[in-house]
Amino acid sequence: MSEKIATREAYGKALVELGAANDKIVVLDADLASATMTKHFKAAYPDRFFDCGIAECNMMDIGAGLSTMGLIPFCSTFAMFGAGRAYEQIRNSIAYPKFNVKICCSHAGVSVGEDGGSHQCLEDIGLMRLIPGMTVIVPADAKEARKATFALAEFQGPAYMRTARLATPVFEEDYPFEIGKANVLREGKDVAIFACGLMVAEALEAARLLADEGVDAAVINVHTIKPIDAACVTEYAQKCGKVVTVEEHSVIGGLGDAVAEVLMGKVNCKFKKIGVNDQFGQSGKAADVLREYGLTGDQIAVSIKEVL
Amino acid sequence: MNTAELSKICRQVRRDIITMTANAGSGHPGGSLSAVELMTSVFYNHMRLDPKNPKWDGRDRFVLSKGHSAPCYYAVLASLGFIDRSEYANFRQLHSILQGHPDCKKVPGVDASTGSLGQGCSIAVGMALGAKKLGKDTQVFTLLGDGECQEGQIWEAFMSAAHYKLDNLTVIIDNNGLQIDGTNDEVMSLGDLPAKIKAFGFDLYEINGHDLDAIEAALAAPHTPGVPKCILGHTVKGKGVSFMENQVGWHGKAPNAEQREQALKELEG
């Protein structure tokens, strides 16, 4: 791992590339273009960028209307105000009619840092996953965020993508991205760690630490939470017999529950969910806040040992 | 279509609303009956449509933001030939295309799924904005309830319609003055609604929403370049059925067999 780039930055840059290739792509924001990074698209294609002001519900439904005219809208704001505030607009005006709107929200999770608990959305994966027919994607690094943005532009139907504020290392390895297909980043036989978003890098770090203690952990990047790669989840749960999920989200409703739903009644294994334990976040430097909630590689390694 | 012909169609639409809701044993007759002239006029005289090709690219768009007036919408669509009247028997029943509130995946001629109040106007803004970006001359109409204007999102939509200079958008408000819990003024007064609409940047036409000539004049009036248009139609909830007119209780209640017969008798012509 080398250079640090935030997934939101990669998303913003990818939109510009997509905008050049497809004039049907339009981008909407709610006065956060310089934070969600849609500012890059705004600068490149001002006539296809709509700032809807601080009115997220209106933005989502304008996106719905634009999609009915054959355009491909990407609606961006913070996860809290997209998946949170505009939940019902997404549910009733976008997902129910199966409109081709991409909801791409940044600033998810506690790694938002200083802005504090009001802005650290820990429920968006759960909220979006609940909606019938919604695709939910959480890229792990900048490379994956770029690929996911390209995949979304091709994908027909409603979809949600979660990106992070924090700049994090870009993986050196390059691997293919396919919606709904998890990537095994590290083979192992003692425990299967399923992670998404920024927690993929932390899970890899945990696996390295565990290896030093003779524990052979597999790490699987579940970038698509819905539809989840049930075959991969089942295979690694059976193979390892012990399953740990890691996410920068509430332990209720997110990746952990999605994995549990696949395995329940099917695979007999030990199971542990690592995430934020039914709490709100708080202000602090991103690294400090992640540590406060037990979401760093070394803490995750300790936590994983409890199921071994 | 002239006023006399439209008037006949309106009478049939009213009869269909009564038939549909009575048969289903539920639904929203009050706000359907108040919207009849407004909706019929838009569809018959001001929209380019092809009932045989509901998804025709050159069509104009309509969004029923007050989705609970679905019986009126379905009756107008049936009279134009988008759907068959035989579907009425299935209104609000299992597996029907005629859901309690409009589902655009199921009903030919419907371009947005609505029912959750406050959202349709924003969808219409998106359609009008999209048409402009694509260089199309599409006209977009949306019908709102006055009670619905208590939703804050309506005002977000109004603000954006003026901001984006949507002179291809016509917002029509069925101002019947009543909502589920009482009169608008008792529940949550909208205050000086005409002044508010104008202050949000619309050209306003305030008319009697049952007067077909007045509706025609307001719909035919050209948009001021760069300015969205609003038609505030003063209406009577339950219009045309004596025992339903101006009665709060007929918002979301279906007529029984006896009431249906009386209503249909009153609507003979």
Percent of chain A with pLDDT over 90: 98
Q: What is the pLDDT of residue B108?
A: 98
Contact with chain B for residue A89, Cβ under 8 A = yes
pLDDT digit string (tens) for chain B, length 269 residues: 999 999 999 999 999 999 999 999 999 999 999 999 999 999 999 999 999 999 999 999 999 999 999 999 999 999 999 999 999 999 999 999 999 999 999 999 999 999 999 999 999 999 999 999 999 999 999 999 999 999 999 999 999 999 999 999 999 999 999 999 999 999 999 999 999 999 999 999 999 999 999 999 999 999 999 999 999 999 999 999 999 999 999 999 999 999 999 999 999 97
Question: What residues of A are in contact with residue B139 (Cβ under 8 Å)?
Answer: none
Q: Which of A62, A67, A69 sits opposite B122 (nearest CB)?
A: A62
What is the mean predicted confidence (pLDDT) over A206-214?
98
Q: Which of A50, A58, A73 sits opposite B122 (nearest CB)?
A: A58
- Answer whether A55 sits within 8 Å of B160, measured CB to CB: yes
Confidence band, pLDDT 50/70/90 cuts, at residue A223: very high
Helix (H/G/I), strand (E/B), else coil: B192? coil
The CATH number of the domain holding residue B66 is 3.40.50.970
Range of the domain at B248: 3-266
Q: What is the pLDDT of residue B269?
A: 73
A257-292 pLDDT per residue, tens: 999 999 999 999 999 999 999 999 999 999 999 999
With contact defined as beta carbons under 8 Å apart, do A139 and A7 qualify?
yes
**Rounded CA gap, A181 and A231, in Å?**
9
For B155, nearest residue in chain A (alpha carbons): A58
- In terms of Cα–Cα distance, which of B110, B187, B198, B112 is closest to B148? B187
The token pair that represents B141 in the structure block: 């109409």
With contact defined as beta carbons under 8 Å apart, do B189 and B215 qualify?
no
With contact defined as beta carbons under 8 Å apart, do B139 and B106 qualify?
no
- Answer whether A93 sits within 8 Å of B133, measured CB to CB: no
Confidence band, pLDDT 50/70/90 cuts, at residue A103: very high
Place of tokens 């006896």: B258
With contact defined as beta carbons under 8 Å apart, do B99 and B68 qualify?
no
Nearest 10 degrees: Cα torsion A110, A116, A117, A118? -120
When divided into structural domains, chain B yields a total of 1
Helix (H/G/I), strand (E/B), else coil: B159? helix
**Rounded CA gap, A200 and A122, in Å?**
17
Q: How far is B246 from chain A (nearest CA, A)?
A: 30
For B157, nearest residue in chain A (alpha carbons): A58
Helix (H/G/I), strand (E/B), else coil: B209? coil
Q: Which residues pair with A276 in a beta bridge?
A: A250
Active site residue A56: yes
For A50, nearest residue in chain B (alpha carbons): B164
- A232 to A138, A145, B158, B235: CA distances (angstroms): 17, 21, 48, 60
- In terms of Cα–Cα distance, which of A92, A58, A95 is closest to A77? A58
Q: Which residues contact B71 (CB under 8 A, 6 or more apart)?
A: B16, B17, B20, B21, B27, B28, B29, B32, B91
A172-206 pLDDT per residue, tens: 989 999 999 999 999 999 999 999 999 999 999 99
- Answer whether A93 sits within 8 Å of B112, measured CB to CB: yes
Question: What residues of A are in contact with residue B105 (Cβ under 8 Å)?
Answer: 97-98
Please report the residues numbered 143 through 182 in chain B whose beta carbons come closer than 8 angstroms to any beta carbon of chain A: 153, 156-157, 159-160, 163-164
- In terms of Cα–Cα distance, which of B88, B75, B87 is closest to B37? B75
Q: Over 60: is that where the pLDDT of A1 sits?
A: no
What is the mean predicted confidence (pLDDT) over A227-233?
98
A112-161 pLDDT per residue, tens: 999 999 999 999 999 999 999 999 999 999 999 999 999 999 999 999 99
Q: How far is B261 from chain A (nearest CA, A)?
A: 36
| CA gyration radius, chain A | 18
Place of tokens 């001001």: B46
**Rounded CA gap, B227 and B240, in Å?**
34
**Rounded CA gap, B238 and B32, in Å?**
7
Contact with chain A for residue B54, Cβ under 8 A = no
- In terms of Cα–Cα distance, which of B133, B110, B143, B119 is closest to A70? B133
List phi, psi (to 5°) of B218. -70, -40
Predicted ipTM beyond 0.95? yes
